[in-house]
Structure 1
Amino acid sequence: MTNISQKFNNYSYSSTQRFLTYVQIDTQSDPSSSNSPTTEKQKDLGKVLVQELKQLGIDSSHMDEYGYVYAQLPSNINQSIPGICFCAHMDTSPDCSGKQVKPIIHRNYQGQDLVLPDDSSVVIRLKEHPDLAEQMGHDIITASGRTLLGADNKAGVAEIMDAIQFWIEHPEVPHGPISILFTPDEEVGRGTDHVNLDQVNAQYGYTIDGEKRGHLENETFSADGFKIQIEGISQHPGFAKGRMESALKIAAEIVNQLPKNHLSPESTEKMEGFIHPVGIYGSVEAAEIELILRDFKTEKLQEYGNLLQEITHKVLENYPHSKVQFQQTQQYRNMNEILVDHPACLENAMEAMRRAGLNPEMQSIRGGTDGSRLTFMGLPCPNLFAGEHAFHSKQEWVSVQDMQKATETIVHLAAIYAEKTIS
């Protein structure tokens, strides 16, 4: 344990420079696309990563037709050790532009407001970002004010790449088989649609896609999608009295009847779930409401679907000739339902963070990760911190020192699996 920490004292971290390079590659995914990946530009980063992996001597690295990057670092000890996969996603959120990102390093942060130069109205304030209070003296990376930064999840990508470089430079540090997986389309909920677990070939996985340093996330929302398809009655507007039943107006009434002081993102926190409309599409004749349902208790999702049907049928009492159809589809499930049976993968991660000098905290995610679906696909996969903050926004930021601690945690974690097998 001490030996590894001492090696990091003299190690030239590569995560910062890698991160600055990666965020300048536009990899925004597109929820409206039916392609895989949803945008070809995600492969631009994948090609860079494959090239860098090969330069590090990982000849197995490659990118498949769907934009997934796979690589294997063989075990450096003789005993049979469980394979570990470290995973991060390459795409950035469609919620905010990721084109022509200009990363800026704010050295030796001392609590001041960070006014971003390309748009002075974008200000990162300590009082609005309380985690900055733990970053005094650190170097903070932001974008320039016109785009998101892309720390979600290129910080995780850079940290994993840095760990690989460390292992290559320090072959004496023990580790078992290491599998690397970089995915596209996580931000649009399709990050594992075409993943090949045979190529991953690991017993446990860890997504490096969390927020605050020291956080380990073992629980996510369970998630369903919900669609309300409305068939109205269209008439010429000049002759519509008593005849027209506008599907758009029906949709608007349904959305207006949704709970506002509870069961909505604006009014919930911690372990509370919600119903959230994300789009209304259509015309007088036909309209569709698209919603997402979220809760940590999977059984609650059906309750939310039933509530939506009740609200809709109540509204339709005033539109006797209109029709409606409902569609509820599973998106992902709370990974804690599986991880509860794999306590060692959580305990090892907590110990790795302690060895890196951190105070680990177990957390729940009000969202999901690739790890949610990987867990249910047979690869138990909690989520480790990457240091990303205020993601999906122009105020996104990450600490250089937090990225370094994430790299250290990854290396310690692999060593713990090796030690427990050897002993």
Structure 2
Amino acid sequence: MELNSLLNFTVTGRFLRYVTIDTQSDPNSDTIPSTEKQKDLGRALVNELIEIGLHDAHLDDYGYVYATIPSNSEKDNIPVICFCSHMDTAPDCSGTGVKPIVHKNYQRQDIILPDDHSQVIRLHDHPELKTQIGNDVITASGLTLLGADNKAGVAEIMDACYQLMNHPEIKHGTIRILFTPDEEIGRGVDKVDIKKLGAYAGYTMDGESAGNMENETFSADGAKLVINGISSHPGFAKGKMQSAIKIAGQIVAALPHDLSPEQTEGKQGFVHPVSISGHIETAEIDFIIRDFEDEKLAQHAEVIREAADTVLARFPGCSYDLQVKPQYRNMKKVLDRHPEIVEYGMEAMKRAGLEARLCSIRGGTDGSRLSFMGLPCPNIFAGEHAFHSKHEWVSVQDMQKAVETILHLCMIWEERGRRDA
């Protein structure tokens, strides 16, 4: 079915509204969600979903939005599928007072952001802009991130809901909608009710370039190294004090340079210290450990241990403790057991007129953990670029193509209903 002639897109207007709602998550908070303001967007989405006709839409106590589009197909063998995006924005860059700007008919120029002229989005630094000639590019004003990660995905799913409810000629099975909080701080699916979703397959809309689908993510561990030094009055410290802070600095310096994020790419993993805190007597270093192969995570943790052993050998009387905890695993192991989920996604992008590309992502998505919770869930492009920064951008046209991709996916699952679903 040719969709372009049918659709009156609402995705841009929705996106421009959503990004003005501050939903930044907080890794230092123990609440669920980590910030109450994430529910502000959740409540707005529920109201819009009910207006569209998804009458079961609701926001739960944990900040998750659930909704259902009933099947309009005569078939009774269509698997339930779910579309998911996260509502929070990253703590890395301010999300307060976002002012979105639409730069129409982009023509390769540098984009100078008006509220801080030192913030310039240059074609040289953002080569993906070469694919946007003639398109309408949306940025923030220079003081904040934009929030396309992942409010572009939210807006695309919302527009797809609107289209499905207003175009009954688009045949589909039962569709579940899920919007999550706290994805940016690694807690995005901690309280998801998989039984309530009742879906066979899911798709997160949280990827980058139009036409990309990601079926493989990093596997991830977190590590905490606690260093026990020896405190002393600094005026009488000679031969006595052994500063845990300085020991921590030496351990970080002892890590292999070629195992750092800034020196790796493709399928290479890394060990990355993300924070150091403490005082003379005790210091802590938090690490993230990443690789596409689960077995290598233990090897990378051993690198931290070896660096600590080497440094602590020079500080008699001091000690350390290293704790490693799993975070998420490469979803490819699950998706390879359900090849049709990825195949249908690739076909949907092709039907939307895109060159479909299967990719690996040097990171994780809600889909990483959802896949291991019983909901196989690859990641489809949302059009977001330069995320977590003041240079973040997305194009109107890429968001519209994402909406088309969602609609084609719904139709493909309806066409090829499974008897064993």
Output the TM-score relative to the length of structure 1: 0.98
Note the alpha carbon deviations across 1:99-128, whole angstroms, 9 max, x for none: 000000000001000000000011111111
Secondary structure of the residue that 2:308 maps to in structure 1? helix
| 1:92 alignment partner, one of 89, 93, 96 | 89
Note the alpha carbon deviations across 1:297-350, whole angstroms, 9 max, x for none: 111000011111111011011111011111000000000011111110010001
2:48 corresponding residue in structure 1:
52
C-alpha separation between the residues in 2 aligned to 1:8 and 1:72?
Answer: 24
Partner AA of 1:313 in structure 2: D
Secondary structure of the residue that 2:417 maps to in structure 1? helix
Partner AA of 2:414 in structure 1: A
C-alpha separation between the residues in 2 aligned to 1:65 and 1:276?
Answer: 34
Q: Which residues in structure 2 correspond to 1:192-211 (within 5 Å)?
A: 192-211=189-208
C-alpha separation between the residues in 1 aligned to 2:113 and 2:322?
Answer: 45
2:407 corresponding residue in structure 1:
411
The CA RMSD over aligned residues, in Å, is 0.9
Secondary structure of the residue that 1:421 maps to in structure 2? coil
Q: Which residues in structure 2 correspond to 1:111-260 (within 5 Å)?
A: 111-260=108-257
1:352 lines up with 2:351 in the alignment: no
C-alpha separation between the residues in 2 aligned to 1:422 and 1:320?
Answer: 66
With over 3 angstroms needed to count, the CA separation of the structure-2 counterparts of 1:422 and 1:238, relative to structure 1, is: closer
Deviates more, 1:242-251 or 1:41-50: 242-251
Output the TM-score relative to the length of structure 2: 0.98
1:301 corresponding residue in structure 2:
297
Note the C-alpha offset of 1:54.
0.4
1:278 corresponding residue in structure 2:
274
1:104 corresponding residue in structure 2:
101
Secondary structure of the residue that 1:26 maps to in structure 2? coil
C-alpha separation between the residues in 2 aligned to 1:280 and 1:50?
Answer: 40
C-alpha separation between the residues in 2 aligned to 1:409 and 1:10?
Answer: 14
C-alpha separation between the residues in 2 aligned to 1:77 and 1:162?
Answer: 20
C-alpha separation between the residues in 1 aligned to 2:375 and 2:7?
Answer: 31
Secondary structure of the residue that 2:259 maps to in structure 1? coil
Note the alpha carbon deviations across 1:203-222, whole angstroms, 9 max, x for none: 00000000000000000000
Note the alpha carbon deviations across 1:27-47, whole angstroms, 9 max, x for none: 000001111000000000000
Note the C-alpha offset of 1:200.
1.1
Partner AA of 1:151 in structure 2: A
May I ask how many residue pairs the two structures share in their alignment?
418
C-alpha separation between the residues in 2 aligned to 1:11 and 1:379?
Answer: 30
1:28 corresponding residue in structure 2:
24
1:326 lines up with 2:315 in the alignment: no
Note the alpha carbon deviations across 1:149-203, whole angstroms, 9 max, x for none: 0000000000000000000110121101100000000000000000101121100
C-alpha separation between the residues in 1 aligned to 2:418 and 2:220?
Answer: 40
Secondary structure of the residue that 1:8 maps to in structure 2? coil
C-alpha separation between the residues in 2 aligned to 1:373 and 1:156?
Answer: 18
Partner AA of 1:418 in structure 2: E
C-alpha separation between the residues in 1 aligned to 2:138 and 2:197?
Answer: 32
C-alpha separation between the residues in 2 aligned to 1:11 and 1:207?
Answer: 22
Secondary structure of the residue that 2:4 maps to in structure 1? helix
1:266 corresponding residue in structure 2:
262
Partner AA of 1:39 in structure 2: T
Note the C-alpha offset of 1:10.
3.9
| 1:41 alignment partner, one of 21, 37, 42 | 37
1:70 corresponding residue in structure 2:
66
Partner AA of 2:165 in structure 1: I
- Whether the 8 Å contact between 2:26 and 2:185 is mirrored in structure 1 is yes
- Whether the 8 Å contact between 2:255 and 2:303 is mirrored in structure 1 is no
Runs of 4+ in 1 over 4 A off after TM superposition: none
Secondary structure of the residue that 2:415 maps to in structure 1? helix
1:389 corresponding residue in structure 2:
385
Note the C-alpha offset of 1:78.
2.7
C-alpha separation between the residues in 2 aligned to 1:416 and 1:266?
Answer: 40
C-alpha separation between the residues in 2 aligned to 1:113 and 1:362?
Answer: 30
C-alpha separation between the residues in 1 aligned to 2:169 and 2:313?
Answer: 73
C-alpha separation between the residues in 1 aligned to 2:225 and 2:401?
Answer: 46
- Whether the 8 Å contact between 2:203 and 2:380 is mirrored in structure 1 is yes
With over 3 angstroms needed to count, the CA separation of the structure-2 counterparts of 1:118 and 1:396, relative to structure 1, is: same
Q: Which runs of 5+ in 2 are unaligned?
A: none
Note the C-alpha offset of 1:8.
2.5
Deviates more, 1:76-85 or 1:59-68: 76-85
Q: Which runs of 5+ in 1 are unaligned?
A: none
Note the C-alpha offset of 1:9.
2.0
Note the C-alpha offset of 1:422.
8.4
- Whether the 8 Å contact between 2:329 and 2:369 is mirrored in structure 1 is yes
Identity %: 60
2:8 corresponding residue in structure 1:
12
Secondary structure of the residue that 1:144 maps to in structure 2? coil
Secondary structure of the residue that 2:128 maps to in structure 1? helix
C-alpha separation between the residues in 2 aligned to 1:280 and 1:10?
Answer: 54
1:364 corresponding residue in structure 2:
360
C-alpha separation between the residues in 1 aligned to 2:69 and 2:207?
Answer: 24
